C-alpha cells in the first residue's frame, strides 16, 4: 500500500542551492499536485498536473518548476532556494477531478 | 471565489468528552466540503466529505459533520474524544469541478486531548 511517496523527508538547503523533491504514486492517478504548508496556515497549491505531459500553475508557483514525464512521477524543482521557501511540502494525487485526494507524508525543507 | 474559516486554532478536550471543531465557508457555487486530519509528521488523511447528498455526513473514527447551508457551516463533531484523536484538522472547500486545483484550505485546528 505505497500510495503517494515523497523523498526526501527532511532537507536543509543553503540560500541559492537547488534541489528536487521527488513524488511518485502507484495508483495510476491522472491528477497530481504539489502544496506547501506554512506554520499555522492551510495548504497552498504550487503546481498541478492533470496527466502526463501537462502541468499548470497553482496559487504560489514562483520559485518552483515541475515536470510530468510519466503518470507515476511528479518532481518539484527549486532552482535558487530562498528562506521564504522554508516550508513543508506535500505531494498529492487523485484519479480525476471530484475524487478523493491522497497525500504523501510531507517533505520538511529548511533554507538557511 | 471561495474561502474557509476555521474558527478555533486550538481546541482542548478531555478524553471521553465531545469534540466540536467549527468551520464556516463561503462559495459562489454549490460547494463540496471535506475534513482532513493530519497527525504529527504525517500526510493528510480524509475524514469525510460532503458532496450535495445527505447533509449529515459520517466519516471514519466516529467523526461526523453537518452541512448547514443557511449558516454556511460544516462543523466536525465526535461524541467522545480519544487520545488518538489529537491531531491537526483541516476544513476544505472545493471549487465547481472538485479538482485539487480548486481546493481552499482553512488554517487548521489543533485538537489536544487530555487524559
| A103 vs B41, B43, B49: nearest CB | B43
| B97 pLDDT higher than 60 | no
DSSP secondary structure of chain B: -EEEEES-SEEEEETTS-EEE-EEEEESS--EEEEEEE-TT--EEEEEEE-SS-SEEE-GGG-EEEEETTTTEEEEEESS--GGG-EEEEEEEE-TT--GGG-EE---EEEEEE-
**A-B C-beta contacts closer than 8 Å:** 65
Per-residue pLDDT reduced to its tens digit, B5-42: 999 999 999 999 999 999 999 887 777 889 999 998 78
Average pLDDT of B75-95? 94
CB contact under 8 A, B41 and A106: yes
Interface of B with A in 28-87 (CB under 8 A): 32, 36, 41-46, 49, 51
Asked if B22 has any chain A CB less than 8 Å from its own CB, the reply is: no
Residue A98 pLDDT: 63
Label residue B43 by pLDDT band (50, 70, 90). Answer: confident
Per-residue pLDDT reduced to its tens digit, A14-35: 999 999 999 999 999 999 999 9
- Taking the CA of residue A86 and the nearest CA in chain B, the distance in Å comes to 16
Per-residue pLDDT reduced to its tens digit, A56-94: 998 899 999 999 999 999 999 999 999 999 999 999 998
Q: Which residues pair with B3 in a beta bridge?
A: B26
d(CA A79, CA A64): 7
Amino acid at each position: 500500500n505505497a500510495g503517494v511517496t515523497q523523498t526526501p523527508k527532511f532537507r536543509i538547503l543553503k540560500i541559492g542551492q537547488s534541489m528536487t523533491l521527488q513524488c511518485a504514486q502507484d495508483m495510476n492517478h491522472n491528477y497530481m499536485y504539489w502544496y506547501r504548508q506554512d506554520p499555522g496556515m492551510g495548504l497552498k497549491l504550487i503546481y498541478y498536473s492533470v496527466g502526463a505531459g501537462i502541468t499548470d500553475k497553482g496559487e504560489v508557483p514562483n520559485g518552483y518548476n515541475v515536470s510530468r514525464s510519466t503518470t507515476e512521477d511528479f518532481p518539484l524543482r527549486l532552482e535558487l532556494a530562498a528562506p521564504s521557501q522554508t516550508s513543508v511540502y506535500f505531494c498529492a494525487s487523485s484519479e480525476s477531478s471530484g475524487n478523493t485526494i491522497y497525500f504523501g507524508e510531507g517533505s520538511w525543507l529548511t533554507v538557511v | 471565489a471561495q474561502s474557509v474559516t476555521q474558527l478555533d486554532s486550538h481546541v482542548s478536550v478531555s478524553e471521553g468528552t465531545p469534540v466540536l471543531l467549527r468551520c464556516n465557508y463561503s462559495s459562489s457555487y454549490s460547494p463540496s466540503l471535506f475534513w482532513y486530519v493530519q497527525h504529527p509528521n504525517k500526510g493528510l488523511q480524509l475524514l469525510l466529505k460532503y458532496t450535495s447528498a445527505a447533509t449529515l455526513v459520517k466519516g471514519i473514527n466516529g467523526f461526523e459533520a453537518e452541512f448547514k447551508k443557511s449558516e454556511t457551516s460544516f462543523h466536525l463533531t465526535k461524541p467522545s474524544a480519544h487520545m488518538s484523536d489529537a491531531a491537526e484538522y483541516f476544513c476544505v472547500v472545493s471549487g465547481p469541478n472538485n479538482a485539487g486545483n480548486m481546493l481552499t484550505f482553512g488554517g487548521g485546528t489543533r485538537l489536544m486531548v487530555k487524559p
